[in-house]
Structures are given as structure tokens and as C-alpha cells.
């Protein structure tokens, strides 16, 4: 049994596999970018793991919102990220902190938003790229930080992790209708 507030029709031409998988990735990315980060046109967004399901959705939605997109992925998947419209000089490896140096030269005063699914020193390197007043949205569960501690170390940075299970069914339904 499913709550009718989170039911939408399957778009014409979609397989059951697409209908079961695409909305989860896009709703996660939509909630992160729109509801949590409030991304606006002209802002810069760094999407980690941009060749994964949620990452690809986040890249596409950020571009749709008018944001400038920077991305990380494993080198073997950079062509996928370029295929989503991210310029080659805005793509770096998600396997080391080297992305911070590569992007640090190009983002000036920092990025406005990071959509993260990494852990450890990669999170620290990412936090260092967020400008004061920027937002860091944690998708992963492996390295969730305390928002107060993040704000104390990275002045003016809003940090938030979320779980879609905590989102009201009405809002989930609205997002599903928006992305499908």
C-alpha cells in the first residue's frame, strides 16, 4: 500500500525500470537544490559524483535552474559529465582532494553550493571551496557533520544533511509531479 499523495502516472514511453528509478534520483536532486540550497540562476554549484544517478540529475537540474556547474567524477566517467553539458575545465577527479586546487583557481571567491556524497578529507576540501553565505548539502550518510561545528570552522556556510523519508508526503508528491 502506498500513500496516494506520492503517486504519479508513468510518462508515455517510459519502461517500468525508468519509472521506478528516475524519479528517486531527480526528486533527491530537486530537494537538495531547490528546497535545501535554494539555488538561483547565476550561482555556482559543485556536484560530486556527477556521473552517478543523483549526480547526473543534480547536474541537469542545476543547469535548468541557470547555475554554473562544476563537477567531480572518476576519470573514466568524465565523458558522461561532459555529455551533460559541463565544460571539461570544470570537471575533476572525485578520488582525491586535487579537485580543490583545480577548482580553486576557477571559482574565485568560492562556490555557492556543494552537493556532496563524499566523505573524510574530500568533505573538508569541499567545505573549503564554499564561499561565505554558501550552502553545503550532504547527500551521503557516511560522514554527516554537525552544522554548528561546520559554521564555526567555515564562516557563514550553511550545512545540511537530509533524508527524503523525513519530507512531507505532500511535498514529495509535488516534486514528483515537477520532475516526471
Q: In angstroms, rounded to a whole number, what is the distance separating the alpha carbons of residues 96 and 108?
A: 21
**Cα 114 to the center of its chain, rounded Å:** 7
- Which fold does the domain 40-166 belong to in CATH? Quinone Oxidoreductase; Chain A, domain 1 (3.90.180)
**Could you tell me if residue 43 is left (phi over 0), alpha (psi between -120 and 50 degrees) or otherwise beta?**
beta
Q: pLDDT tens for residues 44-90?
A: 999 999 999 999 999 999 999 999 999 999 999 999 999 999 999 99
Q: In angstroms, rounded to a whole number, what is the distance separating the alpha carbons of residues 1 and 88?
A: 45
The C-alpha torsion from 163 through 18 and 73 to 159, rounded to 10°, is -20
Q: Give the residue-averaged pLDDT of 125-147.
A: 93
User: If you ran DSSP here, which 8-state letter would residue 69 be given?
Assistant: E
* Cβ(140)–Cβ(55) below 8 Å: no
> In angstroms, what is the C-alpha Rg of the chain?
16
Under the banding of pLDDT at 50, 70 and 90, the label for residue 140 is confident
**Prediction pTM value:** 0.93
Where are the domains positioned within the chain? 40-166
* Cβ(7)–Cβ(90) below 8 Å: no
First to last CA, the chain: 21
Alpha-carbon distances, residue 109 vs 69, 76, 106 (angstroms): 15, 29, 9
Query: Which pLDDT belongs to residue 106?
Result: 65
pLDDT over threshold 90, residue 151: yes
Q: pLDDT tens for residues 86-131?
A: 999 999 999 999 999 888 766 777 899 999 999 999 999 999 999 9
Higher pLDDT, 11 or 40: 40
Amino acid at each position: 500500500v502506498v500513500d496516494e499523495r506520492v503517486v504519479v502516472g508513468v510518462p508515455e514511453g517510459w519502461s517500468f525500470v525508468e519509472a521506478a528509478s528516475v524519479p528517486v534520483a531527480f526528486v533527491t536532486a530537486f530537494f537538495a537544490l531547490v528546497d535545501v540550497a535554494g539555488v538561483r540562476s547565476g550561482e555556482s554549484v559543485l556536484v560530486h559524483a556527477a556521473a552517478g544517478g543523483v549526480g547526473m540529475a543534480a547536474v541537469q537540474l542545476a543547469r535548468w535552474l541557470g547555475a554554473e556547474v562544476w563537477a567531480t567524477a572518476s576519470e573514466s566517467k568524465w565523458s558522461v559529465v561532459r555529455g551533460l553539458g559541463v565544460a571539461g575545465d570544470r570537471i575533476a577527479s572525485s578520488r582525491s582532494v586535487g579537485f580543490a586546487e583545480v577548482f580553486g583557481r576557477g571559482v574565485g571567491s568560492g562556490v555557492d553550493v556543494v552537493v556532496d556524497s563524499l566523505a573524510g578529507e574530500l568533505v573538508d576540501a569541499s567545505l573549503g571551496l564554499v564561499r561565505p553565505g554558501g550552502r553545503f548539502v550532504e547527500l551521503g550518510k557516511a560522514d554527516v557533520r554537525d552544522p554548528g561545528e561546520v559554521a564555526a570552522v567555515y564562516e557563514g556556510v550553511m550545512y545540511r544533511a537530509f533524508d527524503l523519508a523525513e519530507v512531507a508526503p505532500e511535498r514529495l508528491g509535488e516534486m514528483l509531479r515537477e520532475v516526471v
